Chain A
């Protein structure tokens, strides 16, 4: 970096040290400045929503970042609204996301175990198939999925259009392929000597899976659970297509329709809803921050 030649003489080394130090300080200073500017950029809308949610006047016009007389009036109004059952939406979202995430983890774990530990004829083709199924993200098939749920609903009303059950089925279909693939990669990193010796001791495949493998891959299961939960919780398109009844909305659909075009009047309540709706993913994000980062970047480094 430096083009100044370093001369090994006492006095000049000292001065060079000085410039190095001040240069380093300058370097750190501008980096901190940039970080500060962009942290303001990142946080500004978030802080603004928090402020708005605490501002009792509740309209966009009077919203300030820091309200003069903060109160929980907006929260109260939102949670007691008869017309827009916000708590119901939150509950629906939590039901759908948790169910989807748990079943995804369970189904993918057993499938990934098989792919990782058994060798069988169609294995390679099935694995490729799993990967290729991702070529068709299921949001693209929304028309077909809508019509399919319409058909299913005629025989099994619990899984038809406008039901949480139907929505869960669709999310599961979209989640299995990629997550099995992802998990299989992690299962491969667990040394095989472990389950081999268990097998030699007479353990069945299921016992080996349940007692040896599962405890070892628990962090991966947690990551898949969280990715699946966050993905499902944040989905807007499929929920919007499949659900048509206010009582059945997930919070993603309910909250966005709630604000609609009426920014003027409902801004405060929307802000309160936004804060509450953000809590589940923020908690998961906080817990999994380091693990998610690892998961996201591992793909990059593979290059």
Chain B
């Protein structure tokens, strides 16, 4: 209660947060504030233009929050917290909200930008209409290696520099331009004129590329000719469709993809709300239902057995090493926890090498199918995790053992309790009470232990007929494969739906853990 000690008057209390600085400090503060808020507002505004409403709203709310916190006098304590809070809101809380949002959409490959962006992108596409004006052209290369052309209108002799996605620049606007007697450029600042024998190569390398914008652009169609291009599609709001300018065919929005009557599509598409479709897919579609439940159960079994095996070995070692007579205690302990000091992305692969059936030191001697047999693959991965995980248990149990008062053992001895009885009735219960929360934490960690599953065998061997699913896959690695590992495109919506299911399970476990340890209540006691 630093600032509210007895004797403080109301007057002092009102000014207790004051942190008046120099004028320079004040100016710096406001300049900095203006930059941060300006940045957030500008980003939010851009996102709004693209129709990314939830993210835009998050930026605006954050900007408003920062402004209020740094301007109002009563919120000085929040000024200290706000910088960290920005990151927490944008990259921890908003992603949760966005996961929920995504789970109810068909966000996927081909449907991965907002509607406004998709329409803008399609409207940028151009085509060469029949009978379009023809230009002469000269190949150029920009200093950064990209292609550009010099176009000359043979009818008017007007010349332009044409670069993809930029407006044409008239020759008269280019400083430092040098033309030869034929009116062709020899020097253009920032560009190199390509030799004539490069023309064929240039045409084939730049097929379909429009030099210029959808309003004024040209494509090279032969080694001597370039033709003017036009915008290919316009958006018709009434039909919610992209209209092909040349043919008049309407590509109507169907669940986020503009599709014509005969099934042709234009890309990119955009995600739309599909309600509970992703969730019902998991529960009813045979391609997902079977593997999902198999993976669901294995995830629990995996997390439980991982905690159990590491706990048992860790406890055994801790009980063994917890003896005052043992020489070289410190050295022995350091050596025993060494596996903990090396990141798993290294050690898992080392074990995979050891178990390799053809070449590995263990696998070549004894191979029941460490990577191919569903059962033995699971056994193998549990054995690897035992090696990875026991040092942590060893460490925390050693710490917890030392906190068990010795006089309890004395009392037990007086009562005639043998070592086994002492362990069962005294050590184990006390241990479980004190490290119980950490065991639950370890369960939650292994529940999402993507690294070991992916590094061991990418979740394989595959489940027959289960698509990307494998026998050692856990929910998070399955989610990863659906979202990023599919050979037939990525289904972000479905992956988000599975994420939500994991959220609920892990969330429940964690909240239970908080209740169990009273951490949440601790907060209120402190206030």
Task: Say whether A16 faces chain B, with CB atoms less than 8 Å apart.
Answer: no
Task: Say whether B344 faces chain A, with CB atoms less than 8 Å apart.
Answer: yes
Partner of B17, one of A41, A107, A205, A297: A205
Given contacts A38-B336, A299-B437, contact A110 B476 (CB under 8 A): no
Partner of A140, one of B80, B358, B503: B503
When distances are taken between beta carbons in the complex, the residues of chain A under 8 Å from B83 are 107, 110-111
Q: Which residues 95-118 of B have a CB within 8 angstroms of A?
A: 95-96, 98-99, 102, 107, 112, 117
Interface string of A238-262 (1 = CB under 8 A from B): 0011000000000110011001000
Q: Do the beta carbons of A110 and B84 come within 8 Å of each other?
A: yes
Q: Which of A67-75, A80-88, A128-136 contacts B (4 or more CB under 8 A)?
A: A128-136
Q: Do the beta carbons of A303 and B433 come within 8 Å of each other?
A: yes
When distances are taken between beta carbons in the complex, the residues of chain A under 8 Å from B356 are 60, 263
Task: Say whether A174 faces chain B, with CB atoms less than 8 Å apart.
Answer: yes
Which bracket fits the contact residues of B? 35 or more
Task: Say whether B502 faces chain A, with CB atoms less than 8 Å apart.
Answer: yes
Q: Which residues 472-527 of B have a CB within 8 angstroms of A?
A: 476, 479-480, 483-484, 492, 495-496, 499, 502-503, 506-507, 510-511, 514, 517, 519-520, 523-524, 526-527
When distances are taken between beta carbons in the complex, the residues of chain B under 8 Å from A113 are 80
Give the CA-CA distance A115 to B78 in the complex, in Å. 9
Give the CA-CA distance A196 to B433 in the complex, in Å. 38
When distances are taken between beta carbons in the complex, the residues of chain A under 8 Å from B84 are 107-108, 110-111, 176, 180
Given contacts A151-B52, A303-B434, contact A192 B341 (CB under 8 A): no
Q: Do the beta carbons of A124 and B94 come within 8 Å of each other?
A: no
Q: Which residues 44-59 of B have a CB within 8 angstroms of A?
A: 46-47, 50, 52, 55
Q: Do the beta carbons of B387 and A45 come within 8 Å of each other?
A: yes
Q: Which residues 271-303 of A have a CB within 8 angstroms of B?
A: 271, 274, 277-278, 281-282, 285-286, 289, 293, 296-297, 299-303
When distances are taken between beta carbons in the complex, the residues of chain A under 8 Å from B78 are 114, 120, 122
Interface string of B48-92 (1 = CB under 8 A from A): 001010010000000000000000000111111101110110111
Q: Do the beta carbons of B438 and A299 come within 8 Å of each other?
A: yes
* Shortest Cβ distance from B332 into A: residue: A35
B217 vs chain A, min Cβ distance (A): 22
When distances are taken between beta carbons in the complex, the residues of chain B under 8 Å from A186 are none
Q: Do the beta carbons of B92 and A256 come within 8 Å of each other?
A: no
Interface string of B20-56 (1 = CB under 8 A from A): 1100000000000000000000010011001010010
Given contacts A192-B2, A259-B349, A274-B346, contact A138 B503 (CB under 8 A): no
Give the CA-CA distance A301 to B353 in the complex, in Å. 39
Interface string of B341-365 (1 = CB under 8 A from A): 1111111011111101011110000
Q: Which of B95, B338, B391, B519 has the most CB of A within 10 A?
A: B95
* Shortest Cβ distance from A294 into B: residue: B399
Partner of A1, one of B88, B413, B514: B413
The count of residues in chain A whose C-beta lies closer than 8 Å to any C-beta of chain B is 112
Task: Say whether B451 faces chain A, with CB atoms less than 8 Å apart.
Answer: yes
Q: Do the beta carbons of A126 and B335 come within 8 Å of each other?
A: no
Q: Do the beta carbons of B55 and A140 come within 8 Å of each other?
A: no
A49 vs chain B, min Cβ distance (A): 5
Given contacts A48-B350, A133-B92, A293-B395, contact A139 B448 (CB under 8 A): yes
Task: Say whether A228 faces chain B, with CB atoms less than 8 Å apart.
Answer: no
Task: Say whether A237 faces chain B, with CB atoms less than 8 Å apart.
Answer: yes
Q: Which of B193-201, B233-241, B288-296, B315-323 contacts A (4 or more CB under 8 A)?
A: B315-323
Give the CA-CA distance A274 to B334 in the complex, in Å. 20
Task: Say whether A95 faces chain B, with CB atoms less than 8 Å apart.
Answer: no
Q: Which residues 233-269 of B have a CB within 8 angstroms of A?
A: none
Q: Do the beta carbons of A285 and B345 come within 8 Å of each other?
A: no
Give the CA-CA distance A299 to B343 in the complex, in Å. 23
Q: 9 closest A-B pairs (Cβ-Cβ)?
A: A173-B91, A297-B399, A114-B80, A60-B359, A141-B95, A118-B77, A234-B343, A303-B434, A107-B84
Q: Which residues of B contact A (CB under 8 A)?
A: 1-5, 17, 19-21, 43, 46-47, 50, 52, 55, 75-81, 83-85, 87-88, 90-96, 98-99, 102, 107, 112, 117, 316-317, 320-321, 323, 325-327, 332, 334-347, 349-354, 356, 358-361, 387, 391-392, 395-396, 398-400, 403, 413, 416, 418-419, 433-438, 448, 450-451, 454-455, 476, 479-480, 483-484, 492, 495-496, 499, 502-503, 506-507, 510-511, 514, 517, 519-520, 523-524, 526-527
